[in-house]
Amino acid sequence: MTLGVGMVGYAFMGAAHSQAWRTAGRFFDLPLAPDMAVLCGRDAIAATAAAEKLGWRDVETDWKALLTRDDVQLVDICTPGDTHAEIAVAALDAGKHVLCEKPLANSVDEARAMVAAAERARARGVRSMVAFNYRRVPAVALARRLVEQGRIGTVRHVRATYLQDWIVDPEFPLVWRLQKGRAGSGALGDIGAHIVDMAQFVTGDLLTGVSALTETFVRERPLVGESSGLSASGGAGRGTVDVDDAALFLGRFSRGAVASFEATRFATGRKNALRLEVNGSAGSLVFDFEAMNELSFFNGSDDPDTAGFRRILVTEPTHPYVGAWWPPGHGLGYEHTFTHEVVDLVRDLAAGTDPTPSFADGLQVQLVLDAVARSAENGSSWHAIEEVH
Ligand code: SOE
Protein backbone atom coordinates (compact mmCIF):
# COMPACT_ATOMS: atom_id res chain seq x y z
CA MET A 1 0.00 0.00 0.00
CA THR A 2 1.30 3.50 -0.78
CA LEU A 3 1.16 6.85 0.98
CA GLY A 4 0.77 9.60 -1.60
CA VAL A 5 2.66 12.74 -0.62
CA GLY A 6 2.24 16.29 -1.87
CA MET A 7 4.96 18.71 -0.79
CA VAL A 8 4.50 22.48 -0.71
CA GLY A 9 7.76 24.42 -1.03
CA TYR A 10 11.06 23.18 -2.42
CA ALA A 11 13.89 25.23 -0.93
CA PHE A 12 16.20 24.03 1.89
CA MET A 13 13.54 22.13 3.83
CA GLY A 14 11.89 20.90 0.65
CA ALA A 15 15.19 19.40 -0.43
CA ALA A 16 15.74 17.82 3.00
CA HIS A 17 12.22 16.37 3.09
CA SER A 18 12.52 15.08 -0.49
CA GLN A 19 15.69 13.20 0.46
CA ALA A 20 13.76 11.70 3.38
CA TRP A 21 10.81 10.58 1.24
CA ARG A 22 13.26 9.09 -1.31
CA THR A 23 15.30 7.09 1.22
CA ALA A 24 12.94 6.12 4.06
CA GLY A 25 11.58 3.00 2.36
CA ARG A 26 14.99 1.93 1.12
CA PHE A 27 16.62 1.69 4.54
CA PHE A 28 13.68 1.02 6.86
CA ASP A 29 10.89 -1.54 6.59
CA LEU A 30 7.81 0.62 6.15
CA PRO A 31 4.16 -0.51 6.26
CA LEU A 32 3.32 2.12 3.64
CA ALA A 33 5.46 2.95 0.60
CA PRO A 34 5.88 6.73 0.24
CA ASP A 35 4.86 7.88 -3.24
CA MET A 36 6.36 11.26 -4.14
CA ALA A 37 3.30 12.29 -6.12
CA VAL A 38 3.46 16.06 -6.46
CA LEU A 39 5.57 19.08 -5.65
CA CYS A 40 3.83 22.44 -5.34
CA GLY A 41 5.45 25.80 -6.07
CA ARG A 42 4.07 29.10 -7.36
CA ASP A 43 6.57 29.40 -10.22
CA ALA A 44 5.71 26.61 -12.69
CA ILE A 45 9.11 26.60 -14.39
CA ALA A 46 11.13 26.58 -11.16
CA ALA A 47 8.82 24.05 -9.53
CA THR A 48 9.05 21.74 -12.53
CA ALA A 49 12.85 21.88 -12.43
CA ALA A 50 12.80 21.23 -8.68
CA ALA A 51 10.40 18.28 -9.09
CA GLU A 52 12.74 16.77 -11.67
CA LYS A 53 15.79 17.26 -9.46
CA LEU A 54 14.20 16.18 -6.16
CA GLY A 55 12.22 13.21 -7.53
CA TRP A 56 8.56 14.31 -7.58
CA ARG A 57 6.25 12.92 -10.30
CA ASP A 58 3.98 15.90 -10.90
CA VAL A 59 3.77 19.65 -10.26
CA GLU A 60 1.07 22.00 -9.06
CA THR A 61 1.30 25.79 -8.71
CA ASP A 62 -1.59 26.13 -6.23
CA TRP A 63 -1.39 24.20 -2.95
CA LYS A 64 -5.19 23.98 -2.85
CA ALA A 65 -5.01 21.56 -5.79
CA LEU A 66 -3.28 19.03 -3.51
CA LEU A 67 -6.39 18.87 -1.33
CA THR A 68 -8.55 17.37 -4.09
CA ARG A 69 -5.99 14.98 -5.62
CA ASP A 70 -6.74 11.31 -5.03
CA ASP A 71 -3.01 10.52 -5.21
CA VAL A 72 -2.26 12.73 -2.18
CA GLN A 73 -2.97 11.37 1.31
CA LEU A 74 -0.41 13.56 3.11
CA VAL A 75 0.53 17.22 2.65
CA ASP A 76 4.11 18.05 3.61
CA ILE A 77 4.45 21.78 4.38
CA CYS A 78 7.94 23.14 3.69
CA THR A 79 7.07 26.79 3.26
CA PRO A 80 7.85 29.92 5.33
CA GLY A 81 5.85 30.16 8.55
CA ASP A 82 3.29 32.68 7.27
CA THR A 83 1.54 29.94 5.25
CA HIS A 84 1.71 27.03 7.73
CA ALA A 85 -1.65 27.65 9.40
CA GLU A 86 -3.68 28.26 6.24
CA ILE A 87 -2.33 25.21 4.45
CA ALA A 88 -2.37 22.85 7.44
CA VAL A 89 -5.92 23.71 8.54
CA ALA A 90 -7.28 23.36 5.00
CA ALA A 91 -5.41 20.09 4.40
CA LEU A 92 -6.56 18.54 7.69
CA ASP A 93 -10.14 19.65 7.11
CA ALA A 94 -9.89 18.06 3.64
CA GLY A 95 -8.89 14.76 5.27
CA LYS A 96 -5.19 14.86 4.41
CA HIS A 97 -2.50 13.97 6.96
CA VAL A 98 -0.04 16.84 7.54
CA LEU A 99 3.68 17.10 8.22
CA CYS A 100 4.49 20.75 8.94
CA GLU A 101 7.97 22.26 9.27
CA LYS A 102 8.96 24.14 12.39
CA PRO A 103 8.11 26.44 13.97
CA LEU A 104 4.49 25.33 13.83
CA ALA A 105 3.22 28.84 13.14
CA ASN A 106 4.07 32.54 13.34
CA SER A 107 1.81 33.19 16.34
CA VAL A 108 0.09 31.46 19.24
CA ASP A 109 -3.31 32.18 17.69
CA GLU A 110 -2.33 30.47 14.45
CA ALA A 111 -0.87 27.55 16.40
CA ARG A 112 -4.07 27.18 18.40
CA ALA A 113 -6.12 27.07 15.19
CA MET A 114 -3.80 24.36 13.86
CA VAL A 115 -4.18 22.32 17.06
CA ALA A 116 -7.96 22.63 16.82
CA ALA A 117 -7.88 21.43 13.21
CA ALA A 118 -5.54 18.58 14.20
CA GLU A 119 -7.95 17.48 16.93
CA ARG A 120 -10.93 17.63 14.55
CA ALA A 121 -8.99 15.59 12.00
CA ARG A 122 -7.70 13.08 14.58
CA ALA A 123 -11.28 12.13 15.36
CA ARG A 124 -11.49 11.00 11.72
CA GLY A 125 -8.16 9.16 11.78
CA VAL A 126 -6.31 11.98 10.04
CA ARG A 127 -2.99 12.71 11.73
CA SER A 128 -0.34 15.42 11.95
CA MET A 129 3.24 16.03 13.03
CA VAL A 130 5.45 19.11 13.41
CA ALA A 131 8.98 18.61 12.06
CA PHE A 132 11.47 19.20 14.88
CA ASN A 133 14.03 17.02 13.15
CA TYR A 134 16.80 17.24 15.76
CA ARG A 135 14.73 14.95 18.03
CA ARG A 136 15.65 12.25 15.54
CA VAL A 137 19.41 12.58 15.84
CA PRO A 138 20.31 9.20 17.37
CA ALA A 139 22.44 10.87 20.06
CA VAL A 140 19.55 13.17 21.06
CA ALA A 141 17.12 10.26 21.20
CA LEU A 142 19.69 8.35 23.31
CA ALA A 143 20.03 11.34 25.64
CA ARG A 144 16.28 11.29 26.22
CA ARG A 145 16.42 7.55 26.87
CA LEU A 146 19.19 7.97 29.47
CA VAL A 147 17.35 10.79 31.26
CA GLU A 148 14.18 8.67 31.29
CA GLN A 149 16.17 5.78 32.80
CA GLY A 150 17.34 8.09 35.60
CA ARG A 151 20.99 7.79 34.57
CA ILE A 152 21.69 11.45 35.46
CA GLY A 153 19.22 11.67 38.36
CA THR A 154 17.15 14.79 38.94
CA VAL A 155 17.72 17.42 36.26
CA ARG A 156 19.08 20.64 37.75
CA HIS A 157 20.45 22.60 34.75
CA VAL A 158 19.67 22.82 31.05
CA ARG A 159 22.07 24.87 28.93
CA ALA A 160 21.18 25.18 25.24
CA THR A 161 22.77 27.22 22.49
CA TYR A 162 22.13 27.38 18.78
CA LEU A 163 24.70 29.62 17.06
CA GLN A 164 24.89 30.66 13.42
CA ASP A 165 26.61 33.54 11.59
CA TRP A 166 25.06 33.68 8.14
CA ILE A 167 23.85 37.29 8.41
CA VAL A 168 26.84 38.93 10.12
CA ASP A 169 27.50 40.79 6.84
CA PRO A 170 25.28 43.90 7.02
CA GLU A 171 24.89 43.72 3.24
CA PHE A 172 23.22 40.29 3.44
CA PRO A 173 19.79 40.96 1.95
CA LEU A 174 16.44 41.12 3.69
CA VAL A 175 15.38 37.54 2.92
CA TRP A 176 12.12 36.09 4.19
CA ARG A 177 13.74 34.72 7.40
CA LEU A 178 14.43 38.35 8.34
CA GLN A 179 10.86 39.56 7.82
CA LYS A 180 8.40 39.28 10.72
CA GLY A 181 5.46 39.05 8.32
CA ARG A 182 6.95 35.93 6.69
CA ALA A 183 8.90 34.24 9.52
CA GLY A 184 7.11 35.47 12.65
CA SER A 185 10.42 36.23 14.37
CA GLY A 186 14.14 35.97 13.67
CA ALA A 187 16.64 33.66 15.35
CA LEU A 188 14.10 33.04 18.12
CA GLY A 189 11.56 31.16 16.03
CA ASP A 190 13.93 29.76 13.43
CA ILE A 191 16.61 28.20 15.64
CA GLY A 192 15.44 29.06 19.16
CA ALA A 193 12.41 26.84 18.52
CA HIS A 194 14.74 23.88 17.96
CA ILE A 195 16.55 24.22 21.29
CA VAL A 196 13.33 24.80 23.18
CA ASP A 197 11.84 21.64 21.70
CA MET A 198 15.06 19.65 22.17
CA ALA A 199 15.42 20.71 25.82
CA GLN A 200 11.84 19.71 26.58
CA PHE A 201 12.16 16.46 24.60
CA VAL A 202 15.41 15.33 26.29
CA THR A 203 14.33 16.26 29.83
CA GLY A 204 10.71 15.13 29.38
CA ASP A 205 9.77 18.34 31.18
CA LEU A 206 8.15 21.63 30.15
CA LEU A 207 9.21 25.23 30.63
CA THR A 208 6.89 27.16 32.98
CA GLY A 209 8.34 30.63 32.53
CA VAL A 210 11.14 32.69 30.97
CA SER A 211 12.95 35.98 31.26
CA ALA A 212 14.47 37.23 28.04
CA LEU A 213 16.32 39.77 26.00
CA THR A 214 16.57 40.06 22.25
CA GLU A 215 18.75 42.21 19.99
CA THR A 216 18.73 43.27 16.37
CA PHE A 217 22.30 44.27 15.52
CA VAL A 218 21.73 45.27 11.89
CA ARG A 219 18.49 47.21 11.50
CA GLU A 220 18.50 47.88 7.73
CA ARG A 221 19.41 45.58 4.90
CA PRO A 222 19.31 45.58 1.08
CA LEU A 223 15.97 44.46 -0.32
CA VAL A 224 15.97 41.41 -2.60
CA GLY A 225 14.73 41.04 -6.17
CA GLU A 226 11.75 43.00 -7.43
CA SER A 227 11.12 44.52 -4.02
CA SER A 228 14.26 46.66 -4.23
CA GLY A 229 12.30 49.87 -4.67
CA LEU A 230 12.13 52.62 -2.05
CA SER A 231 12.13 50.99 1.38
CA ALA A 232 10.34 51.89 4.60
CA SER A 233 13.52 53.47 5.84
CA GLY A 234 13.58 55.75 2.79
CA GLY A 235 16.85 54.48 1.42
CA ALA A 236 16.65 53.23 -2.14
CA GLY A 237 16.59 49.42 -2.12
CA ARG A 238 16.91 48.97 1.64
CA GLY A 239 14.40 47.70 4.18
CA THR A 240 13.99 47.68 7.92
CA VAL A 241 14.79 44.48 9.81
CA ASP A 242 11.82 43.83 12.10
CA VAL A 243 12.96 40.57 13.70
CA ASP A 244 15.52 39.58 16.33
CA ASP A 245 19.07 38.70 15.33
CA ALA A 246 19.66 37.12 18.73
CA ALA A 247 17.49 35.89 21.60
CA LEU A 248 18.82 34.98 25.04
CA PHE A 249 16.56 33.73 27.79
CA LEU A 250 16.48 32.07 31.16
CA GLY A 251 13.83 29.54 32.06
CA ARG A 252 12.41 27.30 34.74
CA PHE A 253 11.13 23.76 34.14
CA SER A 254 8.10 22.37 35.93
CA ARG A 255 10.19 19.96 38.01
CA GLY A 256 12.58 22.65 39.24
CA ALA A 257 15.42 22.67 36.74
CA VAL A 258 16.77 26.08 35.70
CA ALA A 259 17.82 26.79 32.12
CA SER A 260 19.65 29.16 29.82
CA PHE A 261 19.04 29.43 26.08
CA GLU A 262 20.87 31.38 23.39
CA ALA A 263 19.84 31.55 19.74
CA THR A 264 21.80 33.88 17.50
CA ARG A 265 22.73 34.49 13.88
CA PHE A 266 25.69 36.68 14.91
CA ALA A 267 28.06 34.15 16.50
CA THR A 268 30.79 34.87 13.98
CA GLY A 269 32.47 31.63 12.98
CA ARG A 270 29.70 29.38 14.25
CA LYS A 271 27.84 27.89 11.26
CA ASN A 272 25.18 25.61 12.72
CA ALA A 273 26.44 25.07 16.25
CA LEU A 274 23.70 23.50 18.29
CA ARG A 275 24.72 22.32 21.78
CA LEU A 276 22.68 20.98 24.70
CA GLU A 277 24.05 20.24 28.17
CA VAL A 278 21.89 18.71 30.89
CA ASN A 279 23.28 18.53 34.43
CA GLY A 280 21.59 16.19 36.88
CA SER A 281 22.05 15.16 40.50
CA ALA A 282 23.78 11.95 39.37
CA GLY A 283 25.45 12.92 36.12
CA SER A 284 25.44 15.02 32.98
CA LEU A 285 24.85 14.69 29.26
CA VAL A 286 26.22 16.88 26.47
CA PHE A 287 25.13 16.84 22.81
CA ASP A 288 27.06 18.90 20.24
CA PHE A 289 25.66 18.87 16.68
CA GLU A 290 29.17 19.43 15.30
CA ALA A 291 29.91 15.92 16.65
CA MET A 292 26.41 14.64 16.02
CA ASN A 293 27.33 10.94 16.19
CA GLU A 294 28.56 11.32 19.76
CA LEU A 295 27.03 11.89 23.18
CA SER A 296 29.12 12.92 26.19
CA PHE A 297 28.06 11.30 29.45
CA PHE A 298 29.37 11.97 32.95
CA ASN A 299 28.40 9.29 35.46
CA GLY A 300 28.43 10.78 38.93
CA SER A 301 28.90 7.37 40.54
CA ASP A 302 32.14 6.60 38.71
CA ASP A 303 35.34 6.13 40.71
CA PRO A 304 36.61 9.69 41.28
CA ASP A 305 40.11 8.60 40.24
CA THR A 306 38.89 7.73 36.78
CA ALA A 307 35.68 9.77 36.49
CA GLY A 308 35.20 12.04 33.50
CA PHE A 309 32.94 12.76 30.56
CA ARG A 310 32.69 9.59 28.51
CA ARG A 311 32.40 9.98 24.71
CA ILE A 312 29.71 7.57 23.59
CA LEU A 313 29.92 6.82 19.87
CA VAL A 314 26.21 6.58 19.01
CA THR A 315 26.56 4.14 16.13
CA GLU A 316 25.60 0.81 17.68
CA PRO A 317 22.57 -1.08 16.32
CA THR A 318 21.05 -0.80 19.81
CA HIS A 319 21.02 2.99 19.47
CA PRO A 320 17.91 4.71 18.04
CA TYR A 321 17.58 4.47 14.22
CA VAL A 322 21.24 3.49 13.66
CA GLY A 323 20.72 -0.20 12.91
CA ALA A 324 18.97 0.56 9.60
CA TRP A 325 22.02 2.28 8.16
CA TRP A 326 25.69 1.35 8.50
CA PRO A 327 27.90 -0.84 10.70
CA PRO A 328 29.17 0.65 13.99
CA GLY A 329 31.50 3.62 13.67
CA HIS A 330 30.38 4.91 10.27
CA GLY A 331 28.06 7.67 11.42
CA LEU A 332 25.07 9.60 10.08
CA GLY A 333 24.42 13.19 8.98
CA TYR A 334 21.92 16.03 9.17
CA GLU A 335 19.85 14.59 6.34
CA HIS A 336 19.26 11.30 8.17
CA THR A 337 17.23 13.09 10.84
CA PHE A 338 14.59 13.92 8.24
CA THR A 339 14.48 10.32 7.08
CA HIS A 340 13.95 9.18 10.68
CA GLU A 341 11.15 11.74 11.01
CA VAL A 342 9.39 10.35 7.94
CA VAL A 343 9.91 6.73 9.09
CA ASP A 344 8.27 7.41 12.45
CA LEU A 345 5.46 9.35 10.77
CA VAL A 346 4.69 6.59 8.24
CA ARG A 347 4.74 3.92 10.94
CA ASP A 348 2.34 5.96 13.08
CA LEU A 349 -0.02 6.52 10.16
CA ALA A 350 -0.11 2.80 9.40
CA ALA A 351 -0.60 1.90 13.07
CA GLY A 352 -3.26 4.57 13.65
CA THR A 353 -1.19 6.15 16.42
CA ASP A 354 -0.50 9.85 16.93
CA PRO A 355 2.86 11.05 15.57
CA THR A 356 5.15 13.11 17.81
CA PRO A 357 5.90 15.92 18.06
CA SER A 358 2.23 16.72 17.71
CA PHE A 359 0.76 20.07 16.78
CA ALA A 360 0.04 20.45 20.52
CA ASP A 361 3.78 20.03 21.15
CA GLY A 362 4.32 22.68 18.48
CA LEU A 363 1.86 24.99 20.24
CA GLN A 364 3.71 24.50 23.50
CA VAL A 365 6.94 25.66 21.83
CA GLN A 366 5.05 28.58 20.27
CA LEU A 367 3.88 29.60 23.77
CA VAL A 368 7.51 29.63 24.93
CA LEU A 369 8.56 31.73 21.94
CA ASP A 370 5.70 34.13 22.60
CA ALA A 371 6.65 34.45 26.27
CA VAL A 372 10.26 35.15 25.29
CA ALA A 373 9.18 37.87 22.87
CA ARG A 374 6.87 39.48 25.44
CA SER A 375 9.49 39.35 28.17
CA ALA A 376 12.08 40.90 25.87
CA GLU A 377 9.66 43.63 24.78
CA ASN A 378 8.75 44.87 28.23
CA GLY A 379 12.11 44.16 29.87
CA SER A 380 10.20 43.38 33.06
CA SER A 381 13.07 41.74 34.86
CA TRP A 382 15.82 44.08 33.62
CA HIS A 383 17.81 45.94 36.32
CA ALA A 384 20.13 48.55 34.92
CA ILE A 385 23.61 48.87 36.49
CA GLU A 386 24.96 52.31 37.28
CA GLU A 387 28.42 53.15 35.95
CA VAL A 388 31.04 53.82 38.61
CA HIS A 389 33.04 56.96 37.60
C1 SOE B 1 18.25 28.43 9.58
O2 SOE B 1 19.18 28.87 8.67
C3 SOE B 1 18.07 26.93 9.43
O4 SOE B 1 17.92 26.60 8.08
C5 SOE B 1 16.81 26.50 10.16
O6 SOE B 1 15.67 27.07 9.54
C7 SOE B 1 16.71 24.99 10.16
O8 SOE B 1 15.56 24.58 10.90
C9 SOE B 1 17.97 24.42 10.80
O10 SOE B 1 17.92 22.99 10.81
C11 SOE B 1 19.20 24.87 10.02
O12 SOE B 1 19.23 26.31 9.97
Are both 80 and 185 inside the same structural domain? no
> Which are the contacts of 346, defined by CB distance < 8 A and separation ≥ 6?
3, 24, 30, 31, 32, 34
The pTM for the full model equals 0.96
Are both 147 and 215 inside the same structural domain? yes
**pLDDT, mean over the chain:** 96
Q: How many other C-beta atoms lie within 10 A of the C-beta of residue 154? A: 11
Tell me what the mean pLDDT of segment 215-223 comes to: 97
Q: Is the pLDDT of residue 233 over 60?
A: no
**pLDDT at position 302, please?**
97
> Does some domain include residue 387?
no
**pLDDT at position 316, please?**
98
> Does some domain include residue 32?
yes
CATH of the domain at 71: 3.40.50.720
In the chain, what percentage of residues exceed pLDDT 90? 94
Are both 176 and 194 inside the same structural domain? yes
Are both 39 and 72 inside the same structural domain? yes
**pLDDT at position 236, please?**
60
Q: What is the chain's alpha carbon radius of gyration, rounded to the nearest angstrom? A: 22
Q: Determine whether the shortest distance from the Cβ of 272 to ligand 1 is under 6 A.
A: yes
Helix orientation angle between 359-378 and 193-203, rounded to the nearest 10 degrees: 120
At 117, which helix (H) or strand (E)? Answer: helix 108-122
Among 84, 136, 165, 191, residue to substitute to test ligand 1 (most atoms within 8 Å of Cβ): 191
Among 104, 164, 272, 338, residue to substitute to test ligand 1 (most atoms within 8 Å of Cβ): 272
Closest atom, ligand 1, to C-alpha of 134:
10
Q: How many domains does the chain have?
A: 2
Are both 124 and 143 inside the same structural domain? no
Tell me what the mean pLDDT of segment 245-264 comes to: 98
Per residue in 173-212, pLDDT (tens digit) is: 999 999 999 999 999 999 999 999 999 999 999 999 999 9
Among 190, 196, 338, residue to substitute to test ligand 1 (most atoms within 8 Å of Cβ): 190
Are both 214 and 339 inside the same structural domain? yes
Cα separation, 38 vs 36, whole angstroms = 6
Residue 209 CA, ligand 1 centroid: distance in Å: 25
Amino acid letter, residue 144: R
Amino acid letter, residue 102: K
Are both 76 and 151 inside the same structural domain? no
Q: Is the pLDDT of residue 383 over 90?
A: no
Per residue in 257-277, pLDDT (tens digit) is: 999 999 999 999 999 999 999
Per residue in 286-323, pLDDT (tens digit) is: 999 999 999 999 999 999 999 999 999 999 999 999 99
Q: Is the pLDDT of residue 229 over 80?
A: no
* Structural domain boundaries enclosing 69: 2-133
Are both 236 and 333 inside the same structural domain? yes
Are both 147 and 275 inside the same structural domain? yes
227 falls in which pLDDT band (50, 70, 90)? very low
Angle at 367 between CA 362 and CA 372, to 5 degrees: 125
Residues 52 and 21 sit within 8 Å (Cβ to Cβ): no
Cα separation, 2 vs 71, whole angstroms = 9
Q: Determine whether the shortest distance from the Cβ of 341 to ligand 1 is under 6 A.
A: no
Q: Which of 83, 108, 133 is the last residue of a domain?
A: 133
> Does some domain include residue 389?
no
Q: How many other C-beta atoms lie within 10 A of the C-beta of residue 170? A: 12
CATH of the domain at 223: 3.30.360.10
3-state secondary structure of 240: strand
Tell me what the mean pLDDT of segment 157-172 comes to: 98
Are both 274 and 157 inside the same structural domain? yes
Q: Determine whether the shortest distance from the Cβ of 12 to ligand 1 is under 6 A.
A: yes
Per residue in 43-101, pLDDT (tens digit) is: 999 999 999 999 999 999 999 999 999 999 999 999 999 999 999 999 999 999 999 99
Closest-CA residue to 369 (of 244, 240, 277): 244
Closest atom, ligand 1, to C-alpha of 12:
4
Are both 221 and 346 inside the same structural domain? yes
Are both 106 and 243 inside the same structural domain? no
Q: Determine whether the shortest distance from the Cβ of 11 to ligand 1 is under 6 A.
A: no
Closest-CA residue to 104 (of 371, 352, 368): 368
Residue 102 CA, ligand 1 centroid: distance in Å: 9
Cα separation, 72 vs 51, whole angstroms = 15
